[in-house]
Amino acid sequence: MYDSSPRPVDEVEAVVHRYGDMLFRLCYVMLGNEADAEDAVQETFISYLRNTPTFKEAEHEKAWLITTAKNKCRDALRLRRRRPQISLEDLREPSYEPPDSSDSGILEALMSLPEKFRLVLILHYVDEYRVEDIARIIEKTPSAVKMRLQKGRRLLEEKYRKEYL
């Protein structure tokens, strides 16, 4: 459902505080650098303001934001493929440096996976979404999500063992 009246400023601030980290994590893992992740998060919240959707439950709001952020990331990746502006080396080396070196290895391994696996792995293992909910968010069947989770998990472990252990 969409409401035409703009959201008050304090509500926007509250939403950014509530979901900002979660969306930033998702966008960062999808896009591989802080600047692009910031842009995607910003565009997601701006879409939220422009469309002013109303939700019955907070979970629906969160799912809407995730879906929108995922689409913004895909737009950014598409644009990057069409107009590459940074070297592949830059894409491989994330600007974010987690304090723990094993965390850094896991993150790098995760970010080296194809985008479709990254998304389901984060939603399931980090944001603890159920397979059915992920299926709704990414508009796939639950069995397709299960397959992606299995394959993504296997690829991630292989990559991590091979390059970071």
Partner 1 sequence: MDSKELKRAVQNIKMSDEIRDRVIKSCQSEISAPKENTARKTSYVSRPAILIAAVICLGLAATVVAAGNMGLFKDIVRFDGTVVGTAYEQAPGEIEASAAIAGSELTVTAVITKEDILPYRELENLGIDSFRVVDSKGNAVFKGGRTEMYEIDGGKAEIKIFLPDIAAGSYQAIIDAFVGGKKADQTLLINGEWECEFTV
Interacting span for partner 1 (CB under 8 A) from 37-45, 65-73, 78-86, 139-147: 37-45
- Under rule CB under 8 A, residue 41 binds partner 1: yes
Residue 53: strand pairing partners = 2
CB crowding 71-94: b at 16 or more within 10 Å, else e: ebbeebbeeeeeeeeeeeeebeeb
Which 126-145 positions form the footprint of partner 1 (CB under 8 A)?
126
Measured CA to CA, the distance from residue 85 to residue 77 in angstroms comes to: 12
Inter-residue contact 115 to 108 (CB < 8 Å): no
Count residues binding partner 1 (CB under 8 A): 38
Please say whether the beta carbons of 7 and 52 come within 8 A: yes
- Answer for which of 102, 141, 143, 150 binds partner 1 (CB under 8 A) is 102
Nearer of residues 103 and 132 to partner 1, judged by Cβ: 103
Residues that bind partner 1 (CB under 8 A): 6-7, 9, 12-13, 16-17, 20-21, 24-25, 28-29, 34, 38, 41-42, 45-46, 49-50, 96, 98-100, 102-104, 106-107, 110, 121-122, 125-126, 156-157, 160
